[in-house]
Amino acid sequence: MKKIFAVLMSAALALTVAFGVAACGKGDTLRVGYTIYPPMNYTDEQGNFVGFDTELALETGKILGKEIEFVEIVWDNKIFDLNTGNIDIVWNGMTITDELKENMEISEPYLENRQVVVCQTSEAEKYKTKDDLVKASEIIVEKGSAGASAVGATSAADKIRTADAQKDTLLEVKTSASKIAVIDYLMAQVIVGEGTDYSDLTFVDVGFEDEQFGIGFKKGNTELCEQVNNAIKTLKEKGKFAEIQAKYYG
């Protein structure tokens, strides 16, 4: 499975992607904001838009009787996109933070996560704790991400450089042993290591705190938030949630 994800990373994916499911009654559309983030949202070798969050959103749409339209966004603009109506939902492996709670409605947590260090395999022994991050020449993180916040709270904050997406951090680490990236564990476990395009990279757990993923809605839209919470609860009770999870995480 890791090899499949890695092949995808070499493709240039810049256009907005829109896919719908057949409406189950009302025919309304929910626009879901995402970034390319295997295994959450990505395009497979057959050109199909897939992923854990992708399938979860589509199954939720079926329960709610809504079409789902996926809109690619810049991650750091997600609150703006919600407030302006460009999207209705942020569903893309979003870590729940106090700042986000102040600026949007957030669903109940649905997955556990943490931040990890991605480095060249030959450099892995250098990074055992958060204090060791100062040994890197640069630390590359996605702008506005949980990784950026995690590194910003360490003594290595002055070494941060940002990219527009987590996937964009990996190539620079691959080409320079002195650089590291801090990304989601759920992404790192399927995108680096043996059998991937990043076989010379590995990830290291340096002790960042556990995190939880949530789904975001415009502040005040508690009705839609509750509808999605109930739909996911239904998917868990029916075993569909576990089925999708096993497909992407084994």
Could you read off the pLDDT of 139-167 as tens digits, one per residue? Answer: 999 999 999 999 999 999 999 999 988 88
Nearest to 141 by CA among 174, 176, 189, 180: 180
Angle ∠(165,153,184) on CA atoms, nearest 5: 35
| Continuous H helices in 52-145 | 52-64, 78-84, 98-103
| pLDDT at residue 14 is higher than 80 | no
Considering the domain architecture, whether residues 78 and 126 belong to the same structural domain is answered as no
Compute the mean pLDDT over every residue in the chain, rounded to the nearest whole number. Answer: 89
Considering the domain architecture, whether residues 105 and 13 belong to the same structural domain is answered as yes
Least confident range of 23-32, 165-174, 229-238:
23-32
Considering the domain architecture, whether residues 151 and 227 belong to the same structural domain is answered as no
| pLDDT at 250 (0 to 100) | 67
Considering the domain architecture, whether residues 230 and 140 belong to the same structural domain is answered as no
Q: Which residue has the tokens 């991605």?
A: 118
Token pair of 52, please? 């854990």
Considering the domain architecture, whether residues 157 and 206 belong to the same structural domain is answered as yes
CA 250 to chain centre: 18
| Continuous H helices in the chain | 2-9, 52-64, 78-84, 98-103, 146-152, 170-175, 185-191, 222-237, 240-249
Q: Per the structure, how many domains does the chain have? A: 2
| Percent of the chain topping pLDDT 90 | 83
Residue 10: CB atoms within 10 A of its CB come to: 8
Token pair of 20, please? 């719908």
CATH of the domain at 155: 3.40.190.10
Considering the domain architecture, whether residues 45 and 81 belong to the same structural domain is answered as yes
Range of the domain at 217: 2-111+212-249
Each residue's pLDDT tens digit, 34-84: 999 999 999 998 999 999 999 999 999 999 999 999 999 999 999 999 999
Considering the domain architecture, whether residues 71 and 123 belong to the same structural domain is answered as no
